[in-house]
Amino acid sequence: MTTKLNLLSAMNCIADCAKNSKLNDKFYSQVSGLITYVSKKLNITDEQCVMLALLVNMYDDERMTINKLGRYVDCNTTQMLTYSKAIFKLEKCGYIKCNHNLRYKTYCVPHEVIDAFLKNEKYERPNISPVSEFSFDAVRA
């Protein structure tokens, strides 16, 4: 039985292949078609795609750290820090949320993002308009 390729099935395959791969060249060549599919659909880079796939795979862990991701792919923390820029961009786009602790950062994928992926759609961050001074005056009255 073959299943139609969608965002979650592609991310699942990427995350499965990433396990203990050290994110080496063999891993990237093995899943290059899947990475291309997800990257184009979401308009993100290959590195962002891999990090997002790992975080989606660990969706139920609200305290995902760079160190935990590194253990999953068998990379040390320093190697994983090279992906910091990709992770930061995912946060900026709303694909992940970051909690800044005194000692470390933790990451999670918001429910809204998973809901979009379940529909095989790109997540679109809501456009929130800046709060005007008028709004504050109305609240104070």
DSSP-assigned states of every residue in 39-100: HHHHT--HHHHHHHHHHHHTTT-TTB-HHHHHHHHT--HHHHHTTHHHHHHHHHHTSSEEEE
Residue from 51, 139, 121 nearest 91 by CA: 51
Distance CA 50, CA 47 (A): 5
Q: In this predicted structure, what is the pLDDT of residue 57?
A: 96
pLDDT at 80 over 70: yes
Over residues 72-93, mean pLDDT: 95
pLDDT at 103 over 90: no
pLDDT at 112 over 80: yes
Q: How confident is the model at residue 137 (pLDDT cuts 50, 70, 90)?
A: low
Distance CA 138, CA 117 (A): 38
Q: How confident is the model at residue 100 (pLDDT cuts 50, 70, 90)?
A: confident
- Model pLDDT for residues 4-22, shown as the tens digit of each residue: 899 999 999 999 999 999 9
Distance CA 111, CA 124 (A): 13
Q: How confident is the model at residue 2 (pLDDT cuts 50, 70, 90)?
A: low
Mean residue pLDDT across the chain: 90
Q: CB count, 10 Å around CB of 60?
A: 8
